[in-house]
Structure 1
Amino acid sequence: MPELSAKEATEEMRVYRYVTKDRYRLPVAQADSMGELAALIGRSYGTVRRAMEAVYRGQRTSGPYEYVDLSDEEEEEDVFVPVLRRGV
Protein backbone atom coordinates (compact mmCIF):
# COMPACT_ATOMS: atom_id res chain seq x y z
CA MET A 1 0.00 0.00 0.00
CA PRO A 2 1.53 3.39 -0.99
CA GLU A 3 2.25 5.90 1.76
CA LEU A 4 0.44 9.22 1.90
CA SER A 5 2.25 12.36 0.89
CA ALA A 6 2.57 15.23 3.37
CA LYS A 7 -0.21 17.15 1.58
CA GLU A 8 -2.61 14.19 1.66
CA ALA A 9 -1.85 13.48 5.32
CA THR A 10 -2.84 17.02 6.32
CA GLU A 11 -5.87 17.28 4.03
CA GLU A 12 -8.64 19.43 5.46
CA MET A 13 -12.38 19.04 5.27
CA ARG A 14 -14.63 22.09 5.03
CA VAL A 15 -17.85 22.11 7.07
CA TYR A 16 -20.55 24.69 6.30
CA ARG A 17 -22.69 26.09 9.12
CA TYR A 18 -25.81 28.16 9.64
CA VAL A 19 -25.33 30.00 12.94
CA THR A 20 -27.38 32.15 15.31
CA LYS A 21 -27.31 35.89 14.67
CA ASP A 22 -26.33 36.85 18.21
CA ARG A 23 -22.82 37.39 19.56
CA TYR A 24 -22.37 33.69 20.41
CA ARG A 25 -22.83 32.45 16.80
CA LEU A 26 -23.96 28.98 17.89
CA PRO A 27 -24.41 26.43 15.07
CA VAL A 28 -28.03 25.71 14.13
CA ALA A 29 -27.32 23.45 11.14
CA GLN A 30 -24.14 21.90 9.76
CA ALA A 31 -23.40 20.14 6.46
CA ASP A 32 -20.55 19.01 4.22
CA SER A 33 -21.57 21.24 1.29
CA MET A 34 -23.42 24.50 0.67
CA GLY A 35 -26.11 22.58 -1.20
CA GLU A 36 -26.72 20.25 1.74
CA LEU A 37 -26.83 23.20 4.14
CA ALA A 38 -29.33 25.04 1.94
CA ALA A 39 -31.58 21.96 1.85
CA LEU A 40 -31.37 21.55 5.64
CA ILE A 41 -32.46 25.11 6.39
CA GLY A 42 -34.97 25.43 3.55
CA ARG A 43 -33.14 28.06 1.51
CA SER A 44 -31.93 27.98 -2.07
CA TYR A 45 -28.33 27.15 -2.91
CA GLY A 46 -27.93 30.56 -4.58
CA THR A 47 -29.02 32.41 -1.44
CA VAL A 48 -26.48 30.62 0.73
CA ARG A 49 -23.68 30.99 -1.84
CA ARG A 50 -24.30 34.74 -2.37
CA ALA A 51 -24.38 35.41 1.38
CA MET A 52 -21.11 33.55 1.94
CA GLU A 53 -19.46 35.31 -1.00
CA ALA A 54 -20.52 38.73 0.31
CA VAL A 55 -18.73 38.09 3.60
CA TYR A 56 -15.69 36.62 1.85
CA ARG A 57 -15.36 39.66 -0.45
CA GLY A 58 -15.76 42.11 2.44
CA GLN A 59 -19.13 43.47 1.30
CA ARG A 60 -20.60 42.38 4.66
CA THR A 61 -18.85 41.98 7.99
CA SER A 62 -20.73 38.84 9.05
CA GLY A 63 -23.78 36.77 8.30
CA PRO A 64 -25.62 33.66 9.43
CA TYR A 65 -23.44 31.42 7.23
CA GLU A 66 -19.86 30.37 7.86
CA TYR A 67 -17.46 27.55 7.17
CA VAL A 68 -14.83 25.83 9.26
CA ASP A 69 -11.85 23.89 7.94
CA LEU A 70 -11.15 20.75 9.98
CA SER A 71 -8.06 18.64 9.67
CA ASP A 72 -8.46 14.86 9.65
CA GLU A 73 -7.17 14.65 13.24
CA GLU A 74 -9.75 17.19 14.49
CA GLU A 75 -12.55 15.42 12.66
CA GLU A 76 -11.64 12.06 14.16
CA GLU A 77 -11.43 13.57 17.66
CA ASP A 78 -14.92 15.06 17.31
CA VAL A 79 -16.48 11.73 16.29
CA PHE A 80 -15.69 9.86 19.50
CA VAL A 81 -16.05 11.66 22.80
CA PRO A 82 -15.80 9.40 25.84
CA VAL A 83 -18.38 9.99 28.53
CA LEU A 84 -17.46 9.39 32.14
CA ARG A 85 -20.26 8.77 34.61
CA ARG A 86 -19.98 9.03 38.33
CA GLY A 87 -21.23 6.23 40.51
CA VAL A 88 -21.40 3.65 37.73
Structure 2
Amino acid sequence: MASENNDAIGAESENSAGPDSAHRMCRICFRGVNEERGQLVAPCSCKGSIGLTHKSCLERWLRQRHTDHCDVCLARFNIRKTPAYSRPGLKQ
Protein backbone atom coordinates (compact mmCIF):
# COMPACT_ATOMS: atom_id res chain seq x y z
CA MET A 1 0.00 0.00 0.00
CA ALA A 2 1.44 3.37 -0.99
CA SER A 3 1.51 6.00 1.71
CA GLU A 4 3.61 8.68 0.02
CA ASN A 5 2.14 11.95 -1.16
CA ASN A 6 2.96 12.64 -4.79
CA ASP A 7 3.43 16.19 -6.00
CA ALA A 8 3.97 15.38 -9.67
CA ILE A 9 0.85 17.11 -10.94
CA GLY A 10 1.68 20.40 -12.53
CA ALA A 11 5.15 19.21 -13.48
CA GLU A 12 5.99 17.63 -16.80
CA SER A 13 6.33 13.88 -16.53
CA GLU A 14 9.67 12.26 -17.18
CA ASN A 15 7.67 9.80 -19.29
CA SER A 16 6.19 12.47 -21.57
CA ALA A 17 9.20 12.86 -23.84
CA GLY A 18 11.40 10.53 -25.80
CA PRO A 19 11.19 8.24 -28.79
CA ASP A 20 7.95 6.59 -27.65
CA SER A 21 6.18 9.87 -26.82
CA ALA A 22 3.97 9.55 -29.92
CA HIS A 23 2.43 6.42 -28.36
CA ARG A 24 1.91 7.85 -24.87
CA MET A 25 -1.66 8.66 -23.94
CA CYS A 26 -3.78 9.77 -21.03
CA ARG A 27 -5.27 6.82 -19.15
CA ILE A 28 -8.51 8.77 -18.70
CA CYS A 29 -9.27 10.33 -22.13
CA PHE A 30 -6.96 8.09 -24.22
CA ARG A 31 -5.48 11.12 -26.03
CA GLY A 32 -1.86 12.16 -26.25
CA VAL A 33 -0.18 15.49 -25.67
CA ASN A 34 -2.08 18.30 -27.38
CA GLU A 35 -2.59 22.03 -27.13
CA GLU A 36 -6.04 21.75 -25.54
CA ARG A 37 -5.19 19.27 -22.79
CA GLY A 38 -1.46 19.93 -22.40
CA GLN A 39 1.38 17.65 -21.33
CA LEU A 40 1.00 14.28 -19.69
CA VAL A 41 1.97 14.06 -16.02
CA ALA A 42 2.71 11.11 -13.74
CA PRO A 43 0.71 11.92 -10.58
CA CYS A 44 1.06 8.59 -8.76
CA SER A 45 3.28 5.53 -8.38
CA CYS A 46 1.93 3.72 -11.45
CA LYS A 47 4.59 2.99 -14.09
CA GLY A 48 4.38 3.04 -17.87
CA SER A 49 1.42 4.33 -19.85
CA ILE A 50 -1.08 3.61 -17.06
CA GLY A 51 0.73 6.22 -14.96
CA LEU A 52 0.17 9.10 -17.40
CA THR A 53 -2.72 11.55 -17.44
CA HIS A 54 -3.50 15.15 -18.33
CA LYS A 55 -3.82 17.34 -15.24
CA SER A 56 -7.26 18.57 -16.36
CA CYS A 57 -8.50 15.01 -16.95
CA LEU A 58 -7.30 13.91 -13.52
CA GLU A 59 -8.91 16.90 -11.78
CA ARG A 60 -12.25 16.16 -13.48
CA TRP A 61 -11.99 12.45 -12.63
CA LEU A 62 -11.20 13.20 -8.97
CA ARG A 63 -14.19 15.56 -8.69
CA GLN A 64 -16.52 12.97 -10.20
CA ARG A 65 -15.20 10.10 -8.07
CA HIS A 66 -14.89 12.09 -4.81
CA THR A 67 -11.52 10.52 -4.10
CA ASP A 68 -7.94 11.63 -3.52
CA HIS A 69 -6.01 8.48 -4.41
CA CYS A 70 -5.17 6.27 -7.38
CA ASP A 71 -7.43 3.23 -7.77
CA VAL A 72 -4.53 1.18 -9.16
CA CYS A 73 -1.50 1.86 -6.93
CA LEU A 74 -3.44 3.46 -4.03
CA ALA A 75 -1.01 6.40 -3.85
CA ARG A 76 -2.61 9.57 -2.57
CA PHE A 77 -2.64 12.48 -5.02
CA ASN A 78 -1.31 15.78 -3.72
CA ILE A 79 -2.64 18.15 -6.35
CA ARG A 80 -2.78 21.87 -6.78
CA LYS A 81 -6.15 22.43 -8.38
CA THR A 82 -6.44 24.79 -11.34
CA PRO A 83 -9.01 27.53 -10.60
CA ALA A 84 -12.08 27.22 -12.85
CA TYR A 85 -11.61 30.71 -14.27
CA SER A 86 -8.17 29.82 -15.66
CA ARG A 87 -9.08 26.54 -17.35
CA PRO A 88 -8.76 26.59 -21.15
CA GLY A 89 -12.03 26.76 -23.05
CA LEU A 90 -14.07 28.12 -20.14
CA LYS A 91 -16.36 30.93 -21.25
CA GLN A 92 -17.19 33.64 -18.76
Tell me, yes or no, whether TM beats 0.5: no
Q: Which of structures 1 and 2 has the bigger CA Rg?
A: 1
In terms of fraction of residues, the more strand-rich structure is 1
Q: Which bin holds the TM-score, normalised by the shorter protein?
A: under 0.3
TM-score in terms of structure 1 length: 0.27
TM-score in terms of structure 2 length: 0.26
